[in-house]
Structure 1
Amino acid sequence: MKNALILLFTVFLFNCNGNAQQKKQDKETFEVTKTEAEWQQELSPMAYKVLRKAATERPFSSPLDKEYSNGTYVCVACDTPLFKGKDKFDSGTGWPSFDRVIKGNVSFSVDYDLGQARTEEHCATCGGHLGHVFNDGPSETTGKRHCVNGVALKFIPENE
Structure 2
Amino acid sequence: MQPLDPRYKPAYARFQVYNLNLILVALAMVLVLSTLSAYLRVRARGGRPQAKEEEEKPAVTPLVVPETSPPRAEAEAAPPEPVESGDPVVREYFRAVRLVESATGVRMKPSHTISEYLSETWSRLGKAGEVFREISRLAEDRLYGDIPVDANKLRYLVSALEKILKEQP
Normalising TM by the smaller chain, what interval?
under 0.3
TM-score (norm 1): 0.19
Higher relative contact order (CA 8 A, sep 6+): 1
Higher strand share: 1
Q: Which has the larger radius of gyration?
A: 2
TM-score (norm 2): 0.19
